[in-house]
Amino acid sequence: MTAPLAFVDCETDGVHQGRRAWEVAVVRREPDGTTETLHAFISDVDLTNANLQSLKFGRFYERHPRHSNRRKAGSPMAELPPGTQYRSEAWVAADIEWFTRGAHLVGAVPNFDAEVFADMLSRYQMIPAWHYHLIDIEALAVGYLRGTGRIGEVPLPWSSDELSRLCGVEPPNAQERHTALGDARWAMRLYDFIVTGATDKDAVPAKVTAVSP
């Protein structure tokens, strides 16, 4: 590997133009194999143009710290996993700029995440510095399955879960699916299997860190 990779995912308030992220994850891998992980919930997310069904899809009201534990008046904010940030969008945008700088973004339909990240950076006078070649794990999986003669088993529209299973990589479980960190790590596992032949048992868990430039 001669360039950094950034395995990415974000949970958003919809699929419309101008959508906002409320949870982001980036696992940055350097050419020497070392990794660093950003996982953050955005504390001041603007839901003015949110789509309710999209929020339900990502379990916003169950998982976002601002809303997940407020069924009783005065209840404390839900406890976050170690290393997970709960920061303003401006703070998270600065971290995203650093974690993606010079890297190839890797994900399931990564242009979706790249558009969200680019809009976020522009709101704080920053520009994307990642490599313009994005790597879509679904496209990689289709090519891999074409080579093995199994692509006919997944009709259009392709299911990312089925593509992953046919490649021998189990997608995230029900608790991890449609979470930013769970899906980013899944993109990494599928990429590693297709490109290097690495399986889940070969993976070394990376420590989640909260790093700001």
Tell me the per-residue pLDDT of 53-94, one tens digit each, with 9 for 90 and over.
Answer: 999 999 999 999 987 765 555 556 667 888 899 999 999 999
Residue 37 placed within a domain: yes
Point out the least confidently predicted range of 22-31, 64-73, 134-143, 192-201.
Answer: 64-73
Most confident of 63-72, 179-188, 192-201: 179-188
Cα(117)–Cα(124) distance, integer angstroms: 11
The type of residue at 183 is: D
Residue 33 placed within a domain: yes
**b/e 15-37 (16+ beta carbons within 10 angstroms → b):** eeeebbbbbbbbbbbeeeeebbb
Domain total for the chain? Answer: 1
- Domain span at residue 27 reads 5-202
Residue 211 placed within a domain: no
Q: Which two tokens stand for residue 84?
A: 């997970």
pLDDT score at 167: 94
Q: Which two tokens stand for residue 210?
A: 């909260």
pLDDT score at 55: 96
* Average pLDDT over every residue of 139-150: 93
Whole-prediction pTM value?
A: 0.88
The CATH number covering residue 109 comes to 3.30.420.10
* Contact (Cβ atoms closer than 8 angstroms) between residue 155 and residue 145: no
Residue 85 placed within a domain: yes
pLDDT score at 140: 96
Residue 123 placed within a domain: yes
Report CA 145 to chain centroid distance, whole Å.
23
Residue 197 placed within a domain: yes
| pLDDT tens-digit map of 44-59 | 999 999 999 999 999 9
Residue 208 placed within a domain: no
Residue 212 placed within a domain: no
pLDDT score at 207: 38
The type of residue at 200 is: D
Point out the least confidently predicted range of 93-97, 113-117, 167-171, 202-206.
Answer: 202-206
Beta bridge partners, 135, equal 106
